[in-house]
């Protein structure tokens, strides 16, 4: 049961971080379907830090890995910003392309890097088991991961930013009625860029959190197993509200954790349910939840609509 709780909190942290990133983008008026791709690039940035700087002191390693994930996530989100905001491209297509490109780009890059270091190594794997200890803290029988704290801080920052600051209120105004926001002097383009870049920060952090708590190494050609899309479902079910997103992420995180630890829980193992069903549970739940709640969904009114300054 302790293991189930640990995994639930871990997967909740991942889903919450990425969903909060999507929340910022959509509140600004930009649909970020590329969260899956941003997660992959964010995880790559953090993994590269551990690969090339393995002997950094613990606190420095933590900061450097977080910074690597943030920078790579932000840089990759710029593709969405340029295409959707500057060129007014279809945001759904851009996000889908980002997801496809990310896995391919990360795989090619890691394979080239490994081959350069060892001509016989053509894998897309980065190992970081030795560095994982810097991110762990055991309290009693519970293994605490620093990324759980990052998720909590990210939640608090998101809530305060959106609802307690001028920046957050202006950001949400750009996602509801950008023409009205522009009429009172708010630069809609800058606010939408800010929303996209913030989504890159959160998505990058979610990516490195996912790979760090999942294994001692990561094979980048497998991506992040659809967690970006699960996070989008969390965001929609959470009604673009950070606190509701937290609760929804907890629900989805529980079902995802069951898929990882069901064999260690006696009453679940004795049910003789195929393992594939447990693996499908989070995605089945997301489909059911979205089908039941889509009619009551209250998305930002201007999300996905390119802003035209001359339109009224």
pLDDT digits (tens, 9 = 90+) for 9-68: 999 999 999 999 999 999 999 999 999 999 999 999 999 999 999 989 989 999 999 999
Could you give the C-alpha distances from 245 to 156, 213, 224, in angstroms and in order? Answer: 12, 21, 20
Distance of CA 235 to the CA centre of its chain: 11
pLDDT digits (tens, 9 = 90+) for 244-277: 999 999 999 988 888 777 655 655 656 667 767 7
- Structural domain for 23, as ranges: 2-296
In a domain, 309, yes or no: no
Positive or negative torsion for Cα 14, 19, 25, 31: positive
Alpha carbons 233 and 196: distance in angstroms, whole number? 18
Tell me if 304 is assigned to some domain. no
In a domain, 302, yes or no: no
Q: What is the percent of the chain with per-residue pLDDT over 90, rounded to a whole number?
A: 69
User: Count of domains in the chain?
Assistant: 1
With contact defined as beta carbons under 8 Å apart, do 42 and 34 qualify? no
Which among 290, 171, 136 has a CA at the least distance from the CA of 242? Answer: 171
As a whole number of angstroms, the distance between CA 212 and CA 279 comes to 20
Locus of tokens 């840089």: 75
Q: How far is CA 222 from CA 40, 66, 125, 276, in A?
A: 10, 22, 10, 17
Domain-located, residue 12: yes
Helices 242-261 and 2-28, packing angle to 10 deg: 140
Model pLDDT for residues 130-168, shown as the tens digit of each residue: 788 888 877 776 777 899 999 999 999 999 999 999 999
- Residue 261 sits in a domain of what CATH number? 1.10.3470
Cα–Cα distance between 282 and 122 in angstroms, integer? 33
């Amino acid at each position: 049961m302790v293991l189930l709780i640990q995994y639930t909190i871990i997967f909740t942290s991942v889903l919450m971080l990425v969903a909060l990133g999507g929340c910022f983008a959509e509140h600004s008026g930009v649909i970020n379907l590329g969260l899956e791709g941003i997660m992959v690039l964010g995880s790559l940035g953090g993994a590269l830090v551990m690969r090339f700087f393995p002997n950094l002191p613990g606190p420095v390693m933590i900061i450097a890995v977080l910074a690597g994930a943030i920078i790579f996530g932000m840089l990759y989100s710029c593709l969405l910003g340029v295409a959707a905001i500057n060129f007014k491209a279809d945001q759904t297509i851009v996000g889908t392309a980002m997801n496809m490109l990310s896995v391919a780009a990360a795989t090619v890059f890691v394979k080239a890097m490994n081959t350069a270091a060892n001509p016989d190594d053509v894998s897309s794997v980065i190992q970081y088991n030795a560095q994982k200890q810097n991110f762990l803290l055991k309290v009693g029988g519970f293994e605490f991961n620093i990324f759980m704290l990052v998720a909590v801080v990210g939640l608090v920052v998101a809530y305060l930013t959106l609802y307690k600051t001028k920046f957050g209120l202006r950001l949400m105004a750009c996602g509801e009625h950008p023409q009205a926001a522009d009429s009172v002097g708010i630069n809609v383009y800058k606010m939408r860029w800010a929303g996209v870049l913030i989504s890159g920060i959160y998505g990058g952090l979610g990516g490195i959190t996912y790979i760090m708590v999942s294994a001692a190494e990561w094979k980048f050609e497998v991506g992040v197993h659809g967690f970006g899309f699960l996070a989008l479902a969390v965001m929609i079910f959470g009604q673009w509200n950070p606190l509701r997103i937290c609760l929804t992420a907890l629900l989805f995180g529980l079902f995802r954790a069951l898929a990882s630890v069901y064999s260690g829980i006696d009453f679940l193992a004795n049910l003789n349910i195929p393992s594939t069903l447990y693996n499908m549970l989070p995605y089945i739940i997301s489909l059911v939840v979205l089908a039941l709640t889509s009619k009551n969904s209250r998305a930002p009114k201007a999300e996905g609509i390119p802003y035209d300054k001359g339109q009224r």
